[in-house]
Structure 1
Amino acid sequence: MDTLNLRLQEDPPSRKGERTRGRIKVATARMLERLGYHSMRVLDITQEAGIADGLFYFYFKDKSDAALAVLSEFVEFMPPGGSVDSASRTAFETIRETNYRFIRLARANAGLMRCMLQVVDEHPDFSALVQKVNRDWYVRVSRSVIRHYPGGAVDEDAMLLMTYALGSMMDELVRRLVINPDQNLLKLTDKIVPTDNALADALSVIWYRALYPAAEIPKGLRGTAAKLDALSKEQPLD
């Protein structure tokens, strides 16, 4: 939502019609965040945008058309920007930054992410877009990780499956922490990872251990991440 608004303010389209369409999309994003997909009405969008209903229908067929335009843009924005294998960061730093940004994005757009889950079930084309964006991101991540191993040492399909599994873990945790809060999980995270920084540390240790099992975790991690690191160094069970 903020991205749409900033883009409209900082780089407004040259044509008036495009600017109006942008205003409607911003208003739709706000109503999706505030009211949810099913409760939102065209009237809510037009009142938020300060336009007549007739003008809305000049640009969009109905509320679903406007919602899909907004959510499709949001989905394509979701993967973190920049390189997943930056020379200026270590592999752990890249994983940690990516996880932290995803957590913060979810908190800032919980309503939009909730609407995504609703719309996926009703619109196959949108579901296909979400799956494509996710797969493209997982492929980028898995190829980046493979470059840290000797040639032929890692099976590409196995690494891609690992990345899917780790990404799905993040999706489900965010859903239960932010989108549809699970009170038991919230109590647990409040106890052991009370901040987003601590949560990102802990989850990134899990990612790093799975993707680079022979590598050492960087020193200086916050409490829970350090405990997870210590667990991985315990003696095997009988």
Structure 2
Amino acid sequence: MNPAKPDSPRRSARGEAARQRLMDAAVRVLDRVGFHQMRIKDVTHEAGVATGLFYHYFKDLRQLVDEVLDAHIAEFEAVDVIEREVSKGDWFNRLRAHYEICVRVHAEHPGIMRCIAQFSADDPVFRERWKRSFNRRLDLLVEVFPYVFPDCRLSTPEVELLVHGLSGVGKELMAEYYIDRDPVLRQVELSQEAMAEWLAALLYRGLFACNPPAEQLRHAQQILTIRRN
């Protein structure tokens, strides 16, 4: 990725506002078309500024989009912010909080997630950046695993394998539901809150081999009935 140079001159409040306007416009354009169809004039038109202003802040589209993606990746990594209202030991709401941000970005900015997938396929450097970010979040669960499951006999590599396997819960579904808008899946109309709860409940069941606490469910109560006697 190509973040702006740290020694770039300090910008005025007006300059920062113009720069942010371009970044916000880029998100809206990406939500309509892919990165490879995106043009600088599309962004400046969306932002309502002259095309020449673009080059005051970004050298090219790739730098602009890199910074937009960095900002969204930082949101995924802001664990303290994501979990600020979650009580210690409340694993279902912890999982739900992380799914809420994932669902929100997929639902409100499908172009961002589409662009992440495109860059991951085309750019080895970006692919490694995204992989590190994803693994950093998984490592938080790997680190506490022995304390959550003190009787577990899995080795650390086996725990990592398990956590990575379970981490895929919902990834393909969110892509098909929000980005591809699969008509079969879209027959089930779920709010963002409901989707996050469904996915958190599924991951909770896979991780803890039991249902989440019934009193914490607001949308996914049907999942409690999926069991064998």
- Could you say which residue in structure 2 is the equivalent of 1:9? none
Instruction: Using the aligned pairs only, state the percent identity.
Output: 25
1:69 equivalenced with 2:64 (yes/no): no
How far residue 184 of structure 1 moved from its aligned partner, in angstroms, is: 1.8
- Could you say which residue in structure 2 is the equivalent of 1:207? 203
1:140-183: CA deviations, max 9, x gaps?
13323442122764433223223222322322110011011222
Q: Which runs of 5+ in 1 are unaligned?
A: 1-11
TM-score, normalised to structure 1's length?
0.75
CA distance in 1, matches of 2:39, 2:184: 34
TM-score, normalised to structure 2's length?
0.78
Q: Which amino acid aligns with 1:147?
A: Y
Assess if the C-alpha contact under 8 Å between 1:84 and 1:144 holds in 2. no
1:170-224: CA deviations, max 9, x gaps?
221100110112222222x34xxx44444333322221122222x5631246598
Q: Which amino acid aligns with 2:172?
A: E
Assess if the C-alpha contact under 8 Å between 2:169 and 2:202 holds in 1. no
Assess if the C-alpha contact under 8 Å between 1:25 and 1:70 holds in 2. yes
**Could you say if the C-alpha distance between residues 53 and 42 of structure 1 is closer, same or farther in structure 2, counting changes exceeding 3 Å?**
same
1:230 equivalenced with 2:225 (yes/no): yes
Mapping of residues 31-110 of structure 1, within 5 Å: 31-79=29-77, 81-82=79-80, 86-88=86-88, 90-110=90-110
Q: Which runs of 5+ in 2 are unaligned?
A: 1-9
- Could you say which residue in structure 1 is the equivalent of 2:6? none
Aligned length: 218
Assess if the C-alpha contact under 8 Å between 1:80 and 1:98 holds in 2. no
- Could you say which residue in structure 2 is the equivalent of 1:28? 26
SS at match of 1:147: helix
- Could you say which residue in structure 1 is the equivalent of 2:148? 148
Mapping of residues 144-223 of structure 1, within 5 Å: 144-150=144-150, 153-187=153-187, 189-190=188-189, 194-213=190-209, 217-220=212-215
CA distance in 1, matches of 2:158, 2:123: 30
- Could you say which residue in structure 1 is the equivalent of 2:119? 119
CA distance in 2, matches of 1:154, 1:43: 55
**Could you say if the C-alpha distance between residues 21 and 155 of structure 1 is closer, same or farther in structure 2, counting changes exceeding 3 Å?**
same
**Could you say if the C-alpha distance between residues 34 and 128 of structure 1 is closer, same or farther in structure 2, counting changes exceeding 3 Å?**
same
Instruction: Pick 1 or 2: higher relative contact order, CA cutoff 8 A, min separation 6.
Output: 2
| Alignment RMSD (CA, Å) | 3.0
Assess if the C-alpha contact under 8 Å between 1:36 and 1:111 holds in 2. yes
